[in-house]
Amino acid sequence: MDFVYVVFHALLGAGPIVLLPIIITIIGLLFRVRLLKAFRAGLTIAIGFAGIKLVINLLSGNLGPAAKAMVENFGIHLDILDVGWGAIAAVTWSSPIIPLLIFGILLTNIVLLVFKLTDTLDVDIWNYHHMAIVGIMAYFVTDNVLLGLGASVMMAVISFKLADWTAPYVEKYFGIPGVSLPTMSSLSSVVIAAPLNRLIDRIPGVNGIDFSVKDTQKYLGFFGEPLFMGLILGCGIGVLAEYPVTKIFELGVNMAAVMILIPKMTALFMEGLMPISEAAKKLTKEKFKGRKFLIGLDAAVVVGNSTVITTALLVIPLTIFMAAVLPGNRVLPFADLAVVPFRVAMVVALCRGNLFRSLLISLICMAAILLAGTATSPVLTQLAMTTGIDLSASGGISSFAATSLTVSYLVYIAFTSNPFVCVPILLVVLIGVWAYMDRRAKRAGQASGTEESGRAE
Amino acid sequence: MKKVLVACGNGIATSTVVASKIREACEEAGIDVSVSQCKLLEVKSKAADYDLLVTSGMFTGGEANIPVIGAISLLTGVGEEETIEEILMHLKSNGCRPAK
C-alpha cells in the first residue's frame, strides 16, 4: 500500500506534463481505445498543455505589468487577465480527479437517458470540461472528492436539461433538427435571457422595439479577427500604461501572437481527445440502438448565423467598454473576446433574432460573466498555479468560461459556501423549473395536436 | 494540390473533427490536399485563397466566392458518407487552379 501511495504522490508532484499522458491513456483504455492510440492521445494533449503554458507565460509576462501600470496611471482597475477558456480547459484536463468526473458525467447522461429524463445524448467528451471545472474547483476549495463529483454531476444534469429545452430553438431558429447543444458556454446565458425576454414581452412600448444594423461585418469585422483584436487591445493597453512607442507596438504584436497561438495549442487538446470521443460515441450508440434522441453537439454549429455574428461584433467592443466602467469588475477582457459569439448565440435564438433585445440581454449576460469572473478569480488563479503556470506578473486570471458563467458560478457557490443549505435550494429550483417546462411542453404539444386535428377536418 | 478551409465557431473544436475526417478520406481516395482551420468570423478574409470551404455548422454570416459545403453530418454521424462523397467530388472535379 505504501508503495502505491508513494508512486501516486510522486506522480501528483510531477505536474500535468507527466500526469496528462497517464490520465488520458487510462481514460482511453476504459473506452476501449487501443493502448498505442490512447497513449498517443495522452501525449498529444500533454504537448498541448506545454504549449498553452508557454503562451500564458507570454501573455501574463507582457500584459500583466502593463495592466498594473494602467491601474496606477488611470485608476482603470482591470488587473485580472482574461486568459481564455483554452487555458482553463488545459487546467481542467490536467486535474488528477478528471477521470472520475468524466465517467461521473457520462454515467449521469446514461442514467438520465435510460429513465427517459433527457433526450440529449452527449458524448462530446471534449466539452465535458465546462462541467468538470466546477467540480475541480469545488474539490480544490473543500478538499472533498464527493463534493467535487456532486458539483460536476449537477452541472451535467443542468446542461442536459437546458439542452433539451433549447433544442426546439436550435431546430426552428437555426434550422438544425435532431440536435441539442449541451455546451454550458452558450447555455448559461439562457437562464438570464429567458426570463428577461419574457419580461420585455410585457413592457408596452419596449416590446415592439427592433432595429437592424447594416454592414457590421464590413466595419466591425476586425473585432472578429483575433490577430487585429490582439494588436489593437495590446497597443491600447500599452498607451494607457504610458509605455514608449516601441514598447507599445511590442505589446501589441505580442498580444496578437497570444490571440493566434492559444487556439492553435488548444486544438492539440481537441486532436488528442478525438479518438476517445469517437470511441465513446460508438459505445453509447450501440447501447441505445433504436432509441430516438437529440445528438449533443458543440454550440460551434450555430454561431455562423448572421444575427449571431452581428450581435457578437457589436457586443465585443461594448464589453471592453463595460469592463472599464462596471462597478466591481476587475477582469480585463482579452483572449475570450474571440468566443463572444458562443455567449450570445442562444440569446439571439430566444429573442428570435430581434437585434435590440439580443444586444441588451447579451450585455447583461456579459456583465454577469465579468462579475462572477472577478469573484472567482482568486481560486482559479491558485488552481492554475498548482499546475505550474507562472502568474506572478499579473493580478490574477479569469476567463469568460468556467465559474464566470452564471450557471457554473451558482453551482460552484452552492457546493462550496454552505452545501447543506444551498444544494437543496438549487435542487428545488431545478425541479421547479423542470416541472414548469414539462407542463409548458405538454400544453404546447396539446395545442399543436388540436391544431393538426383541426386542419384534418 | 487542393486547399480546403474548414471553419467553425472558434476554429478549434468541431473544425478539428471535420478537418481530420476530410484528411482521412482524402488519404484513402488518394487526393493530395491541404486542410486548414479557422474561425467563421475569419472566413471573409481567408476564403479567397482556398478551393473549398467546409463549415461544421450552418453559415449565413457572409458570402464566400468559393464552393461551400455544410458538414454537420460529420459531427452527428447521420449522412456522414454522403457528405464525405460530396467533398471528395468537389476536390476531384475540374475546378483545378492553374499551378502557380
pLDDT tens for each residue of A200-215: 999 998 888 888 777 7
A361 has a chain B CB within 8 A of its CB:
no
Asked whether residue B99 is assigned to any structural domain, the reply reads no
Question: Residue A263 is nearest to which of B10, B40, B60, comparing CB atoms?
Answer: B10
- Structure confidence at residue A452 as a pLDDT band (50, 70, 90): very low
Q: What's the total number of domains in chain B?
A: 1
DSSP bridge pairs for A120:
A294
Which stretches does DSSP call E strand in A83-123? 120-121
The residue-averaged pLDDT of A138-164 equals 96
What are the φ/ψ torsions at residue B69 (nearest 5 degrees)? Answer: -125, 130
3-state secondary structure of B3: strand
- pLDDT grade for B99, boundaries at 50, 70 and 90: very low
Size of interface A-B (CB pairs under 8 A): 116
Residue B85 sits in a domain whose CATH number is 3.40.50.2300
Write down the domain spans for chain A: 76-224+274-417
B86–chain A Cβ distance below 8 A for any pair: no
Q: Is A303 on the interface with B (CB under 8 A)?
A: yes
Query: Average pLDDT, stretch A226-242?
Result: 90
Question: By the CB < 8 Å criterion, does A274 face chain B?
Answer: yes
If you average pLDDT over every residue of chain B, what do you get? 83
C-alpha cell belonging to residue A30: 476504459
Say whether B13 sits in a helix, a strand or coil.
helix
How confident is the model at residue A454, as a pLDDT?
A: 40
- Please indicate whether, in this complex, the C-beta atoms of A221 and B41 are within 8 angstroms of each other: yes
CA dihedral A254, A259, A260, A264 (to 10 degrees): 120
List pLDDT tens digits, range A245-272.
Answer: 999 999 999 999 998 888 888 888 888 8
Chain A nearest C-alpha distance from B56 (Å)? 6
Give yes or no for residue A409 having a pLDDT over 90: yes
Residue B70 phi/psi, 5-degree rounding, is: -85, 130
- Residue B75 is assigned to a structural domain of this protein: yes
Given a contact cutoff of 8 angstroms between Cβ atoms, the answer to whether A300 and A186 are in contact is no
- Cβ of A338 and B39 within 8 Å? yes
Closest partner CB to A342 (pick from B9, B15, B16): B9
CA distance B2 to chain A (A): 22
Q: For an interface test with A, which of B6, B12, B16, B39 has the most A Cβ atoms less than 10 Å from its Cβ?
A: B12
- Hey, are the CB atoms on B61 and A304 less than 8 Å from each other? yes
Residue B100 inside a domain? The answer is no
- Structure confidence at residue A1 (pLDDT): 54
pLDDT at B62: 61
* Whether A301 contacts chain B with CB within 8 A: yes
Of A306, A332, A308, nearest to A319 by C-alpha is A332
CB atoms within 10 A of CB A386: 14
H or E element in which residue B21 lies: helix B13-29
Residues in chain B within 8 Å Cβ distance of A214: none
Average pLDDT over residues A74-90: 90
Give the H or E element holding residue B38. strand B33-39
Torsion angle, alpha carbons of A370, A173, A117, A178, to 10: -120
B96 an active-site residue? no
Neighbours of A20 (CB within 10 A): 27
The chain A residue lying nearest B57, using CA atoms, is: A301
Q: Provide DSSP, A331-400.
A: EE--GGGGGHHHHHHHHHHHTTT-HHHHHHHHHHHHHHHHHHHHHHHHHHHHHHHHTT---TTSS-EE-S
Interface with A, mutate which of B17, B36, B41, B74 (most A CBs under 10 A): B41
pLDDT at B94 over 60: no
Grid coordinates in use for A238? Answer: 500599452
- How large is the average pLDDT for residues A52-81? 88
Residue B97 lies in a domain: no
The residue in chain B having the minimum alpha-carbon distance to the alpha carbon of residue A274 is: B17
Given phi > 0 = left and psi -120 to 50 = alpha, else beta, which region is A290? left
Instruction: Judge whether A29 and A35 are in contact, CB under 8 Å.
Output: yes
Give, to the nearest 10 degrees, the angle between helix A145-172 and helix A406-416.
160
Count Cβ atoms below 10 Å from residue A117 Cβ, excluding itself: 13
For residues A410 and B81, the model is more confident at A410
Beta bridge partners of B7: B38, B55
How far out from the chain centre does Cα A189 lie? 11
For residue A148, count other CB atoms closer than 10 A to its CB: 27
- pLDDT value of position B8: 86
Inter-chain CB proximity B76 and A179 less than 8 Å: yes
The C-alpha of B58 sits at a distance from chain A's nearest C-alpha, in angstroms, of 6
Ordered alpha helix ranges (H), A115-183: 129-142, 145-172
pLDDT digits (tens, 9 = 90+) for B29-77: 988 999 999 888 888 888 889 999 999 877 775 667 788 898 888 888 7
CA torsion, points B75, B23, B5, A273, in degrees to nearest 10? 50
pLDDT in tens, A116-144: 999 999 888 888 999 999 999 999 999 99
